[in-house]
Chain A
Amino acid sequence: AQSVTQPDIHITVSEGASLELRCNYSYGATPYLFWYVQSPGQGLQLLLKYFSGDTLVQGIKGFEAEFKRSQSSFNLRKPSVHWSDAAEYFCAVGTTSGTYKYIFGTGTRLKVLA
């Protein structure tokens, strides 16, 4: 069955430090992968997506993610974190199991220290 795993529930980094959020997926075919961010009191906003082509994907707010098929991973990175990046981050995979739908990971909550 398709699944998405985000192994880190909470991550704390200092402002200006680099960030990597991990995401592993289980899916038989070529995956369609997404990263969303949820700021406090807000809905989810798409950061970036991958479905083909270059395995390094650029998104909004200075984020990027790299698709590694051999590791079944789609990790999110940012070279220098800003205090406004404090939020919850969700990885998701699009699936055609039965019909189109999206499976979300359990989320990683990011705290940024000033």
Chain B
Amino acid sequence: DVKVTQSSRYLVKRTGEKVFLECVQDMDHENMFWYRQDPGLGLRLIYFSYDVKMKEKGDIPEGYSVSREKKERFSLILESASTNQTSMYLCASIGVLGLAGEQYFGPGTRLTVT
């Protein structure tokens, strides 16, 4: 059974803190994604990675960075958390980066920045 796990389901951080969100997949997928989900806005792509140490900016990369040192792990970093980064964060992976491929999603991390 395929699995994408995220390090925390709920996280509360203070403004200005550095925040790490971890995502691990066990499917040997090359491609991984970080999305942000907000009510009324759907899912918006923050960053994606198509190989170890490779990354591409998505639609809303400002205020975020990523790290992919190992194939199975993709980390999202909030360099200095702000209240407008309070959101649900979803990680996904896909084996074949083709338009017909299925993305597998983790359960999400609900981050609150106070």
Contact = CB atoms under 8 A, between A and B. Distances in A.
A26 B92 CA distance: 24
Chain A interface extent, by class? 20 to 34
Contacts of B35: 104
Tell me the interface secondary structure of chain A in the complex.
strand
Interface stretch (B11-19, B61-69, B70-78, B103-111): B103-111
A97 to B, nearest CB: 11
Given A9-B40, A104-B43, A105-B42, A49 B90 contact: no
B103 A99 contact: no
Contact of A44 (B41, B45, B48, B90): B90
B48 A49 contact: no
Interface of A: 4, 6, 9, 32, 34, 36, 41-46, 49, 51, 90, 92, 94-96, 99-102, 104-107
7 contacts: A6-B42, A41-B107, A44-B103, A51-B99, A104-B35, A104-B42, A104-B43
